[in-house]
Structure 1
C-alpha cells in the first residue's frame, strides 16, 4: 500500500536518491508532466488501484516530505510497445526517441526485478501541478 499524506495517496518518482530528486525537480519546474508505471510492479504488488482523472496526489521529495500537490489529467493503460513518443516527451527527461525511452524503462524495471515485454501493461499518467 502506498503511503498517505493528508488522506491523499503519495507519488514518489523513481528510486530514492539522485533520481528521485531530479524527477521531482523536473516536475516542480514544469518540465515533467507525465510518468509511467508498470502495472504489476507499481500497482498490483502494492495493492493499489490505478489513478483516475481528477485525483489529487501528494508529490514527495527524497526525504518523503510533501513537495507539491498534483492533479491527474489523463490516464491510459497501454502495452509497453504502444507507449507514444508524445508521452515520452511529456516525461521531460530528455529522451531522444521512443526507442531511447523504451530502452531506459526496460533497464530501470529490470533493476527492480521485472522483465518488460512488448505486451507488459504500462500506466501512462499525465498530471499538472496545483497551486500551493
Structure 2
C-alpha cells in the first residue's frame, strides 16, 4: 500500500512543533500521541481504530513516515500515566509535564479557532490516546 492510499495524519500545526514530532517518530523516541476527543467530534471524524495505518505528513504536507496504530483508547486525561507521557517522545519526564503541555496546546489559539471556542480542560476531559509502531519511513 503506497502513501497515497493511506489516510494522512498531521501532528499539531505546521512548523517547529510538527517538525519535532515527526523527527521524534523517525528517531523512535515517539511511540504515542494524544488527541482531544472534541477535535475529532467537531471535525466529524471517527476515532481512529487499532490496526489502522496512517501516512504522517511533515510541515510541507509531504509523507514522512507510515505508522500503524497498535492501541487506541478514549479516556479521561486523569488516566494518562507517566509511562504514556514519556512514550509521547517530547521529553516529558512525567505526566505533570505532559499535562501542562497538552493543556496549553488544547487551549491554544489554533485549536480554539478550529473549535469555535476555547475548550475546558480538566481531569475528566476525554482524550484519544494512541500507541503506534513505524511501518516504514518515506
- Shared fold per TM-score greater than 0.5: yes
**Which residue is 1:51 aligned to?**
48
Which sections of structure 2, spanning at least 5 residues, go unmatched? 113-118
- Which shows bigger deviation, 28-37 or 105-114? 105-114
Task: Give the Å deviation of 1:96.
Answer: 2.1
Give me the TM-score of the superposition, normalised by structure 1.
Answer: 0.91
**Which residue is 1:117 aligned to?**
122
Return the structure number with greater helix share: 2
Q: Deviations over 1:35-87 (max 9, x none)?
A: 0000001x111111111111110110000111111100111111011111111
2: CA distance, partners of 1:68 / 1:97: 27
**Residues 1:89 and 2:94 aligned together:** no
Which sections of structure 1, spanning at least 5 residues, go unmatched? none
Counterpart mapping for 1:1-132 below 5 A: 6-41=4-39, 43-111=40-108, 112-113=111-112, 114-132=119-137
Instruction: Give yes or no for contact 1:20–1:61 (8 Å, CA) kept in 2.
Output: yes
Instruction: Give yes or no for contact 1:106–1:115 (8 Å, CA) kept in 2.
Output: no
Give me the TM-score of the superposition, normalised by structure 2.
Answer: 0.87
